[in-house]
Amino acid sequence: MKIEKCQKESFVVIGKEGATTDGAGFIQKLWDDANSHFGEVQHLAKKDENGNISGIWGAMSDFSRSFQPWEDFSKGLYLAGVECNEDAEAPDGWTKWVIPGYEYIYAERENDGVFLEVIQYLQEHGVSLVGAVHDFTSPQTGKGYMFFPIKKL
């Protein structure tokens, strides 16, 4: 597993919000809903210099909406959405989150064990999470990554 580091300033995600209290499979249901209604937010999506969508995010937060890690890594909020421009407003049925800026350690989601592997790596190196972990999918490559915030910007 290759672990990398980056900084990302505060950014906006507009998506479909749900919670672990919604029951098993809620994340997949959110993605199904977001994907089937993507046309409603496509025009709001942030684009790179080539006109490609910048990023697809599975953003997470604790229930207080302060972007702290999920309680026991098993209870919290999830937003299945797309990175948007700062001034974008969420249409009806969508939710806008402004994710704080962080320094992240990130790793490609090569298997289901990546989360625990990175948590172990952080513990072994004396690094603490300062916020909730986020899923990121690159629209250009289709590869998925997990972003672990280790320092507020």
pLDDT tens-place string over residues 64-108: 999 999 999 899 999 999 999 999 999 999 999 999 999 999 999
* Residue % of the chain over a pLDDT of 70: 100
Residue 78 C-alpha from the chain's centroid? 8
Q: What is the pLDDT of residue 45?
A: 97
Amino acid at position 33, single letter: D
For the cut 90, the answer to whether the pLDDT of residue 47 exceeds it is yes
Q: Looking at the domain 3-152, which fold is it?
A: Multidrug-efflux Transporter 1 Regulator Bmrr; Chain A (3.20.80)
Residue spans of beta strands (DSSP E) within the chain: 3-8, 11-19, 56-61, 77-84, 95-99, 102-108, 134-137, 144-152
Domain ranges of the chain: 3-152
CB contact at 8 A, 135 and 70: no
pTM beyond 0.85, yes or no: yes
pLDDT tens-place string over residues 117-145: 999 999 999 999 999 999 999 999 999 99
